[in-house]
A and B are shown apart, each in its own frame.
Chain A
Amino acid sequence: MGGSEKPELIINGKRLDGRTSDQLRDIKIEVGAVRNAVGSSYIEWGNNKILAAVYGPKEALPKHVQDPEKAIIKCRYQMSPFSSLEDHGRTGPNRRSTEISKVTKEVFQNVVLLEQFPGSEIDLYIDVLQADGGTRAAGITAAAVALAASGIPMTDIPFAVSVGKVGSELILDMNKIEDNYSDADMPVAISPRTGEMLLLQMDGNLTIEEVNRGVQMIKKAGEAISKIQRNALKVSYERILEKYKK
């Protein structure tokens, strides 16, 4: 946060990539990107490229992790070592990815009907192939579609996006350079049906008023994101229908 040679991030009301403060990057979601998975999706969110895949429900192993009353979710978020413009990254979990895996798992524990699969595990893999800021939110958005595509029952299809702050202006959906030099970052996941927040993280500095306004910006952006998620699922079902018509 806040390097010494901070670039001007907003010029004449426009951001470096030409967006307005409350404008999302382009989002494309494709269902069924991983053939072997029970459900999967590929998301391009701006320059982010992320795969999400679901395996299971299957017997939870090792046995001691089994919950006799419900399924457990195992989640692994990972960035590929070639995903950023910087040096080659290290493979394997680090503290950041461990935390993101944990909070992502917790988002889906809220919406998946785990009680229907006692003793089982549901595996959720999120692999970031190219990163340009906001990968945890894009990963959650993609994973929600992969889960829905897997047919595992859920109460809702959550979405996630972050709000940041540059100077005194709140900006939606920061890319990498904005994230690097912003004054705050607040990623939030919401269940659109209830409006409840399933992921809430924040660092930097925000007044109470800015937090409230940021949450409202995220809710509003969610309408567009949800539409893209649902449309991706619809397209995949139509494709299946086509196949059987022939």
Chain B
Amino acid sequence: MQIRTVTGDYIKDLLASGTREDGRDMLDYRSITVKPSIIPNAEGSAEVTIGHTRVLVGVKLGVGSPMPDKPNEGNLITGAELLPLASDSFETGPPSPEAIELARVIDRGIRSSGMIDTKALFIEEDKVWDLFVDVYILNYDGNMFDAGTLAAVTALSTARMPKIEDNKVIREGNLGRLKVSNTITSCTFAKIADNIILDPDRNEEEFMDGRLTIANDENVVRAMQKGLSGSFSPKELENLMDITFDKSKELRKHIERAKSD
């Protein structure tokens, strides 16, 4: 068993002297791996690691009913599970506000990017596809937002599209791909005292005052979410958007590579 002894002062002193526990620069990601299609039974899946954070996303499609206010559109349903096996700080029980926020921020990015055309998920009157995106945190070492978005977008971008024959859903065999028309990624920053860092790990997240996630595609910002009690100035936001557009090029490459596998 590992006894956690890191203190806030230690993390803050390191940042004040311009470094981090693992030697990274303030605006560096940890090493990232992206593995698509590792759950063959799911229509789409991807496992992403950012440092020791490990996230699995599974995509399933099923037949459901449209929402009353959108009778001609399918449903995108994103959930997140902070599995108790992933960290001693996660507990069993109904989804915590943290898990709900994580799911909703990932969902907003995907939805706003237009990468999924929910109108194309229409089958016939009162019958549409439900597109489930389940984000499973398998090991927690910070920055679940970026890992979750990366895994979700990769899983969607490599998913197969089931079909209906004789009223039965066919999930295997000769199937096309789920139509995906954009790629989004997110960059998450932590503010600790006066320092702003990219991709906080668990120890850094424990002592961060504020968190800011910016999701973008190649051209525009698609979603943002500030978390915790810390604040950001308009000037800081301006700067962090520029950094996000720069860093997202590298993140997008991981998805492109997974798609061409």
Write the residues of chain A forming the contact surface with B, with a CB cutoff of 8 angstroms: 1, 3-4, 86-87, 95-96, 98-99, 101-103, 106-107, 109-110, 184, 186, 191, 194-208, 211-212, 215-216, 219
Contacts and interface: CB of A to CB of B under 8 A. Distances in A.
A182 to B, nearest CB: 11
Interface size on B, as a range, is: 35 or more
B171 interface: no
Interface in B190-241: 212, 219-234, 237-238, 241
B97 A203 contact: no
A99 B97 contact: yes
A97 to B, nearest CB: 10
Contacts, number: 102
A142 to B, nearest CB: 20
Given A205-B112, A208-B238, A211-B241, A197 B226 contact: yes
A200 B225 contact: yes
A203 B223 contact: yes
Tell me if A's interface is mostly helix, strand, loop or mixed: mixed
Q: Which 5 A-B pairs have the closest CB atoms?
A: A109-B229, A196-B231, A200-B226, A202-B224, A205-B220
Contact of A95 (B100, B109, B230, B234): B100
A153 B100 CA distance: 31
22 contacts: A96-B104, A99-B97, A106-B229, A110-B229, A110-B230, A184-B112, A186-B224, A191-B231, A194-B231, A197-B237, A200-B232, A201-B224, A201-B225, A202-B223, A203-B111, A203-B222, A204-B112, A205-B112, A205-B220, A205-B222, A211-B237, A211-B238
Contacts of B242: 208
B69 interface: yes
Contacts of B222: 203-205
Contacts of A196: 231-233
Contact of A4 (B72, B220, B226, B232): B72
A99 B231 CA distance: 18
A96 B108 CA distance: 12
Contact of A106 (B68, B109, B228, B241): B228
B103 interface: yes
Contacts of A102: 97-98, 100-101
Nearest to A207: B220
Interface of B: 68-70, 72, 97-98, 100-101, 103-104, 108-109, 111-112, 212, 219-234, 237-238, 241-242, 245
Contacts of B223: 202-203
Given A203-B108, A219-B234, A86 B69 contact: yes
B212 A200 contact: yes
Nearest to B229: A109
Given A197-B233, A216-B234, A106 B227 contact: yes
Contacts of A198: 226, 229, 231
B166 to A, nearest CB: 31
Contacts of A99: 97, 100-101, 104
| Interface core residue of A4, A95, A184 (most chain B CB under 10 Å) | A95
A163 B221 CA distance: 14
Contacts of B97: 98-99, 101-102
Contact of A205 (B100, B221, B225): B221
Contacts of B220: 205-207
Nearest to A4: B72
Contacts of A200: 212, 224-226, 232, 237
B194 to A, nearest CB: 12
B212 to A, nearest CB: 7
